[in-house]
């Protein structure tokens, strides 16, 4: 399946906040033939058409770690980048990303046999080295970064599970939408940086552009008591309230009408967190996040429906043609 293959190619690429360059290179490759711009912060921008612009955006970065120190015993001290629960750390396989490539590593755990001995868990990466000099010989340096090793599962012929669907699925949706539209209208496609640490890329774009409407394409943390009405497989989700913004009620109704006319499924929900779109509200622009329901967000087993992704792309194409 083309969608699954290309989505997995994007998800496999390591790219924590501030180090999105390999993700950006892949998106440029996937959108060959368009005029690309990379701003000073690293946002990737493609503009098509003319007239009053609308903006569609998705973030390239993922949660992970930077190496903040290398100890004399060869262990790598790491700093969390983005929202990572401490309970996810013990007993994990990781990839250490250096200038020369990937190096296998693990975050250890305290075995039950030794827990009574007072041994405490340390959030450090073990790359099989016993000394600082050995780590240096491996080509690992401070400020190299670390991501959870990615394992892909395809569940019940409908759901895909892999680390970094947030927001590589959104990035893929933008790529496919760009390819499918007839660019008669002015549309700004933006793949942003540093969303996971405070929407930094989007803030830079909001100082430069004045779109009539903004659609942030991101994940929707679902399946909690707050929003068990929203479920993967029932269509994209208008993320109307989260911790960062209340989206445009007027535009919500407009999008619901578009989806109904096009016979496309569309859900409405409330969740936590925030999206790149919220900073545009602060500038006075209409904004609605158009998202995909995601189970187990910010874990190694993020899970979404492939039909939701296809319907999200169809909806974005329809919206561009209707606006």
Asked whether residue 31 is assigned to any structural domain, the reply reads yes
Q: What b/e string do you get for 17-48 counting C-beta neighbours within 10 Å, with b at 16 or more?
A: bbbbeebbebbeebbeeeebeeeebbbbbbbb
pTM: 0.95
Q: How far apart are CA 162 and CA 148, in angstroms?
A: 10
Instruction: List beta partners, residue 287.
Output: 214
Q: Which of 148, 175, 191 is the last residue of a domain?
A: 148
Q: Which of 148, 173, 188 is the last residue of a domain?
A: 148
The tens digit of pLDDT for each residue in 265-293 reads 999 999 999 999 999 999 999 999 999 99
CA angle in degrees (0–180, nearest 5) for 46-51-52: 90
Residue 195's CATH number: 3.40.630.10
Whether 170 and 40 share a structural domain: yes
Asked whether residue 168 is assigned to any structural domain, the reply reads yes
The tens digit of pLDDT for each residue in 156-195 reads 999 999 999 999 999 999 999 999 998 778 999 999 999 9
Residue 90's CATH number: 2.40.30.40
Whether 111 and 172 share a structural domain: no
Q: How far apart are CA 201 and CA 41, in angstroms?
A: 7
Mean pLDDT, residues 138-148:
97
**pLDDT higher than 90, residue 114:** no
Q: How far from the centroid of its chain's Cα atoms is residue 232's Cα? A: 17
Whether 99 and 233 share a structural domain: no
Residue 313 in tokens:
């792309």
Mean pLDDT, residues 105-116:
82
Total count of domains within the chain: 2
Q: Which of 85, 119, 148 is the last residue of a domain?
A: 148
**pLDDT higher than 80, residue 113:** no
**pLDDT higher than 80, residue 119:** no
Whether 188 and 283 share a structural domain: yes
Asked whether residue 158 is assigned to any structural domain, the reply reads no
Mean pLDDT, residues 118-144:
92
Domain that holds residue 262: 2-62+163-322
Q: What are phi and psi of 47, to 5 degrees?
A: -115, 135
Whether 177 and 300 share a structural domain: yes
The tens digit of pLDDT for each residue in 208-250 reads 999 999 999 999 999 888 888 999 999 999 999 999 999 999 9
Whether 171 and 252 share a structural domain: yes
Asked whether residue 25 is assigned to any structural domain, the reply reads yes
Asked whether residue 154 is assigned to any structural domain, the reply reads no
Whether 137 and 273 share a structural domain: no
Whether 182 and 143 share a structural domain: no
Whether 204 and 303 share a structural domain: yes
Asked whether residue 155 is assigned to any structural domain, the reply reads no
Whether 75 and 57 share a structural domain: no
Q: How far from the centroid of its chain's Cα atoms is residue 143's Cα? A: 21
Whether 91 and 224 share a structural domain: no
Dihedral sign, Cα of residue 307, residue 309, residue 310, residue 315: positive
Whether 57 and 68 share a structural domain: no
Asked whether residue 153 is assigned to any structural domain, the reply reads no
Asked whether residue 96 is assigned to any structural domain, the reply reads yes
Instruction: List beta partners, residue 45.
Output: 37, 190
């Amino acid at each position: 399946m083309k969608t699954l293959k290309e989505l997995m190619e994007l998800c496999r690429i390591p790219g924590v906040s501030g180090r999105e360059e390999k993700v950006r290179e892949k998106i440029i490759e996937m959108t060959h033939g368009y005029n690309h711009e990379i701003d000073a912060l690293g946002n990737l921008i493609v503009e098509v058409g003319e007239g009053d612009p609308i903006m569609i955006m998705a973030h390239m970065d993922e949660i992970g770690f930077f190496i903040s120190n290398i100890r004399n015993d060869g262990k790598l001290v790491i700093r969390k980048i983005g929202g990572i629960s401490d309970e996810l750390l013990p007993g994990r396989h990781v990839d250490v990303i250096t200038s020369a490539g990937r190096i296998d590593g693990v975050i250890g755990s305290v075995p039950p046999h030794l827990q009574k001995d007072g041994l405490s868990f340390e959030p450090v990466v073990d790359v099989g080295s016993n000394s600082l000099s050995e780590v240096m010989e491996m080509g690992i340096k401070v400020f190299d970064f670390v991501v959870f090793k990615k394992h892909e599962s395809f569940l019940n012929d409908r759901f895909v599970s892999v680390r970094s669907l947030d927001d590589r699925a959104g990035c893929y949706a933008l790529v496919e939408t760009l390819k499918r539209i007839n660019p008669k209208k002015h549309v700004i496609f933006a793949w942003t940086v540093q969303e996971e640490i405070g929407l930094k890329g989007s803030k830079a774009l909001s100082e430069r552009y004045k779109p009539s409407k903004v659609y942030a394409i991101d994940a929707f943390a679902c399946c909690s008591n707050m929003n068990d009405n929203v479920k993967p497989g029932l269509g994209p989700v208008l993320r109307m309230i989260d911790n960062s913004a209340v989206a445009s009620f007027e535009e919500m109704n407009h999008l619901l009408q578009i989806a109904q006319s096009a016979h496309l499924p569309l859900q409405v929900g409330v969740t936590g967190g925030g999206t790149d779109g919220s900073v545009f509200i602060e500038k006075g622009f209409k904004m609605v996040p158009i998202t995909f329901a995601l189970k187990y967000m910010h874990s190694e087993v993020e899970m979404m429906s492939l039909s939701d992704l296809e319907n999200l792309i169809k909806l974005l194409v329809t919206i561009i043609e209707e606006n």
